[in-house]
Amino acid sequence: MANKRKKVRLVLKTKVKIFFKEKIVSDPDIYLMGLSASLIANEAKPGQFIHIKCSKDNYPLLRRPLSIHRIDKEKGEIYILFQVVGEGTKLLAQKEVGDNLDVLGPIGNGFNIYPESKKIMIVGGGIGVAPLLALCEGSIRQEKEVRVLIGALKKELVIEEENFRNLGAKVDVATDDGSYQYKGLVTDLLERVIKEGWLADQIFACGPKPMLKKINEIALKANIDYQVSLEERMGCGIGACLGCVCKIKTKGKKEEKVKYEYKRVCVDGPIFEGSEVVWDD
């Protein structure tokens, strides 16, 4: 409870100015956007997100959640990396440098990097890399040895590879069509890396659900601690509407019939232990 209340108290509603905008991939369109948001940058930790009002009016009505892609506490800046999939992200992509955004944030629990961990494995699929760059930077600042595996459909859709590398991580890429580096799924690549004997103390992942689920099996088998960033349709983004839930196992409550409960992705997550997530759907 206390823990949760603390999280809630850190959330801010602010207007932040767009100081940078670049289209880094076309069709699907993916944008990188820089926001002057000193208050948020100051509070933010890897794995958290901001909740953005993309329109001035009712169309779309609800905010849209986007992960914090990079955090620059010194400059008081954060970055978001987003793919245009519908009305909200389309409107967001139409905003220009100098425009203000109405955002809530930073929201969520964030990734938990254990002090004792030495080797960190980060796996991102598609736009799922969004929250992972900040995580990579954080891990390296804590002097972890970091490897990053990026999965994409094809070469053109591999994003942020260089940025991870520049942070000092070893980066490998898997493309479904083999148009770049390893041909196949990023999960196959992960298994290979493990087979080769590089055993991480923690695996962190974000991407399509099937990928996250598969990694859970791999992590379980290799018995590596695994944290995932989950997504769900959101309403409030602040824990009030119970709209964004996911199935989480209820540990130790043997007496109960149901073996899971619904937890809120927005404030109980978006980061969960892979082992506590009910993957069956």
Partner 1 sequence: MIDKPNLEVEIAGIKLKNPVMTASGTFGYGEEFSPFIDLDKLGAMVLKGITLNPKMGNPPPRVIETPSGMLNAIGLQNVGVEALIKEKLSQLQKYHTPVIINISGDTIDEYIKIAKRLDEVSESKKIAGLEINISCPNVKKGGMLWGTNARSTYKVVNQIRKITKLPLIVKLSPNVTDIKEIAHSAEEAGADAISLINTLAGMAIDINSARPKLANIHGGLSGPAVKPVALWMVWQVYQTVKIPIIGIGGIMKAEDAIEFIIAGARAVQVGTANLVNPEAPIEVIEGIKEYLAEKQIDDINKLTGSLII
Ligand X SMILES: Cc1cc2nc3c(=O)[nH]c(=O)nc-3n(C[C@H](O)[C@H](O)[C@H](O)COP(=O)(O)OP(=O)(O)OC[C@H]3O[C@@H](n4cnc5c(N)ncnc54)[C@H](O)[C@@H]3O)c2cc1C
Ligand Y SMILES: Cc1cc2nc3c(=O)[nH]c(=O)nc-3n(C[C@H](O)[C@H](O)[C@H](O)COP(=O)(O)O)c2cc1C
Query: For residue 72, which of 97, 46, 96, 54 has the smallest C-alpha distance?
Result: 46
Size of the site for a second copy (CB under 8 A): 3
| Interface with partner 1 (CB under 8 A) | 1, 5, 8-13, 53, 58-63, 104, 232-247, 258, 261-262, 281
Q: Which residue in 85, 220, 240, 242 binds ligand X (CB under 6 A)?
A: 85
Contact flag: residue 58 with a second copy (CB under 8 A): yes
Structure tokens at 173: 């890429």
Q: Contact, 274 vs 212, CB < 8 A?
A: yes
Residues 11, 70, 150, CA angle at the centre, nearest 5°? 125
Please choose which of ligand Y, ligand X, a second copy, none residue 42 contacts, taking the beta carbon within 5 to 8 angstroms, the exact cut-off set by kind: none
Q: How far apart are CA 69 and CA 134, in angstroms?
A: 6
Compare residues 160 and 231 and give the one whose CB is closer to ligand FES: 231
Contact flag: residue 57 with a second copy (CB under 8 A): yes
Q: How far apart are CA 271 and CA 248, in angstroms?
A: 12
Q: Which residue in 243, 262, 273, 278 binds ligand Y (CB under 6 A)?
A: 243
To 10 degrees, what angle do helices 186-195 and 209-222 make? 10
φ/ψ of residue 271, rounded to 5: -95, 125
Q: Which residue in 7, 37, 46, 89 binds ligand X (CB under 6 A)?
A: 89
> How deeply is 36 buried, as exposed, middle or buried, from its count of CB atoms within 10 A (0-12, 13-18, 19+)?
middle
Q: Which residue in 8, 220, 242, 258 binds ligand FES (CB under 6 A)?
A: 242
DSSP 8-state class, residue 183: E
Q: Which residue in 65, 106, 151, 207 binds ligand X (CB under 6 A)?
A: 65
Strands 202-206 and 182-183: unpaired
Compare residues 18 and 234 and give the one whose CB is closer to ligand FES: 234
Please choose which of ligand Y, partner 1, ligand X, none residue 231 contacts, taking the beta carbon within 5 to 8 angstroms, the exact cut-off set by kind: ligand X
**Of residues 128-167, those binding ligand X (CB under 6 A):** 130
Query: For residue 138, which of 107, 160, 112 has the smallest C-alpha distance?
Result: 112
Compare residues 35 and 267 and give the one whose CB is closer to ligand FES: 267
Q: How far apart are CA 99 and CA 82, in angstroms?
A: 17
Binding mask 229-248 for ligand X (x = CB under 6 A): --xxxx--------------
| Binding stretches for ligand X (CB under 6 A) | 49, 60, 64-67, 81-83, 85-89, 127, 130, 231-234, 265, 270
| Binding stretches for ligand FES (CB under 6 A) | 234-237, 239-244, 264, 266
